[in-house]
Amino acid sequence: MPSNRPSLAIIGAGRVGCALGRSLHQRGWRIGAVVSRTAQHARAATRVIGAGRPRSRLDAGLLAADVVLITTPDRAIAAVAKALARLDGKTIGGNRWRSKVVLHTSGALDRSVLHPLESLGAATGSLHPMQTFSGRDVPPLDGYICALEGTPAALRAARRICRDLGCLPVVIAPGAKPAYHAAGALAAGHILAVIEAATRMLVALGFSRRAAIRALLPLTRQTLANFERLSPRPSSPHPAWTGPLARGDFATVAKHAAALRRFPHEYRDAYAALSRLASLVLGQEGRR
* Domain residue extents for the chain: 7-172, 179-287
Burial 217-252 (b: 16+ CB within 10 A, else e): eeeeeeeeebeeeeebebeeeeebbeeebbeeeeee
Q: Is the pLDDT of residue 209 over 80?
A: yes
Q: Give the mean pLDDT of 82-108.
A: 83
Query: In a 10 Å sphere around its CB, with 0-12 CB exposed, 13-18 middle and 19+ buried, how is residue 40 labelled?
Result: exposed
Q: What are the tens digits of pLDDT across the range 38-75?
A: 999 999 999 999 999 999 999 988 999 999 999 999 99
For residue 231, the SS3 value is: coil
Mean pLDDT, the chain, rounded, equals: 90
Burial 9-34 (b: 16+ CB within 10 A, else e): bbbbbbbbbbbbbbbbbeeebbbbbb
Distance CA 142, CA 286 (A): 32
pLDDT in the model for residue 288 = 42
Single pTM value for the model: 0.86
Contact status, residue 202 vs residue 180, Cβ threshold 8 Å: no
| Distance, CA of 162 to chain centre | 14
Q: What are the tens digits of pLDDT across the range 18-34?
A: 999 999 999 999 999 99
pLDDT in the model for residue 13 = 85
Q: Give the mean pLDDT of 124-152.
A: 86
pLDDT in the model for residue 137 = 67
**What would be the CATH architecture of the domain defined by 7-172?**
3-Layer(aba) Sandwich (3.40)
Q: Is the pLDDT of residue 233 over 80?
A: no
Indicate the pLDDT class of residue 193, thresholds 50, 70 and 90.
very high
pLDDT in the model for residue 1 = 39
Indicate the pLDDT class of residue 92, thresholds 50, 70 and 90.
very low
What values do phi and psi take at 166, rounded to 5? 85, 10
Indicate the pLDDT class of residue 283, thresholds 50, 70 and 90.
confident
Contact status, residue 36 vs residue 45, Cβ threshold 8 Å: yes
pLDDT in the model for residue 234 = 63
Contact status, residue 171 vs residue 154, Cβ threshold 8 Å: no
Q: Give the mean pLDDT of 99-105.
A: 95
Distances from the Cα of 66 to the Cα of 25, 31, 94, 161, angstroms = 14, 10, 16, 13
Q: Give the mean pLDDT of 256-280.
A: 94
Q: Is the pLDDT of residue 163 over 90?
A: yes
- Cα pseudo-dihedral 123, 90, 86, 126, rounded to 10: 30
pLDDT in the model for residue 284 = 59
Q: Give the mean pLDDT of 184-196.
A: 93
